[in-house]
A and B are shown apart, each in its own frame.
Chain A
């Protein structure tokens, strides 16, 4: 079953613009992670935020987590054509040890 649900399902922006993607989940979590998947490739880990954290940054990425609303957002600033990919949020539920549950993903297209 899907724990994370991303929103929107697809996003198209111009190079240089910011891209904001949202994820909602249903149960209490240990941490939430964002992954990127380029077409025909495996997933690549982008960033992890723990349940006791509210915001994290990594380069052009900014992730926020609101555990009261059970939601997270991923912001990519100054987007580039190379950011075109599918983005997935994944959660580790409390007590679930290693197990990641993925959403269905958001398709981001960055037009040059």
Chain B
């Protein structure tokens, strides 16, 4: 199994530009999570999906952030327009629903720098 795949691994952009982060969960997993990690705030849950449906987006910081999961094998996190304070490492994680599948499997992350 390839694990959770994220792209790009690194992104440098200028303030005001649109940024799209991509995630492919582990095949067969039906719950997907987006996190943001910074030194100041630690690891924060932004949004999560069960069976492609957004369940809790209370962690999404502003309307500039949006996330979609059009199918079971793909999700995007979009920031438009980006700001320097969005600089962080963004992680995607997936897991199975039910059956004791509480363990989350994390991707390698996307390191975003907004200048």
- Taking Cβ atoms with an 8 Å cutoff, the residues of A that contact B are 2, 31, 33, 35, 41-45, 48, 88, 92, 97-105
> Once the chains are docked, how many angstroms separate the CA of A101 from the CA of B43?
8
Nearest CB to that of B45 among chain A residues?
A99
The secondary-structure label for the interface of chain B is strand
Given contacts A98-B33, A99-B48, A101-B45, 20 further A-B pairs with CB under 8 A are A31-B102, A33-B102, A33-B103, A41-B108, A41-B109, A42-B106, A42-B108, A42-B109, A43-B93, A44-B106, A45-B105, A97-B55, A98-B50, A98-B97, A99-B56, A100-B33, A100-B45, A102-B43, A104-B43, A105-B43
The secondary-structure label for the interface of chain A is strand
| 24 pairs from A and B in contact (CB 8 Å cutoff) | A31-B102, A33-B103, A35-B106, A41-B109, A42-B4, A42-B91, A42-B93, A42-B106, A42-B107, A42-B109, A43-B43, A43-B104, A45-B105, A48-B102, A88-B43, A92-B102, A97-B50, A98-B55, A98-B95, A98-B102, A99-B48, A100-B104, A102-B43, A105-B42
Decide: B95 and A43 in contact? CB cutoff 8 A: no
Nearest CB to that of B111 among chain A residues?
A40
A75 CB to closest chain B CB (Å) equals 20
- Taking Cβ atoms with an 8 Å cutoff, the residues of B that contact A are 4, 31, 33, 42-43, 45, 48, 50, 55-56, 91, 93, 95, 97, 102-109
With a cutoff of 8 Å between Cβ atoms, the chain A residues found around residue B4 in the complex are: 42
With a cutoff of 8 Å between Cβ atoms, the chain A residues found around residue B103 in the complex are: 33, 45, 48
Partner of A2, one of B42, B102, B105: B42
Nearest CB to that of A96 among chain B residues?
B56
B92 CB to closest chain A CB (Å) equals 9
> Once the chains are docked, how many angstroms separate the CA of A104 from the CA of B42?
5
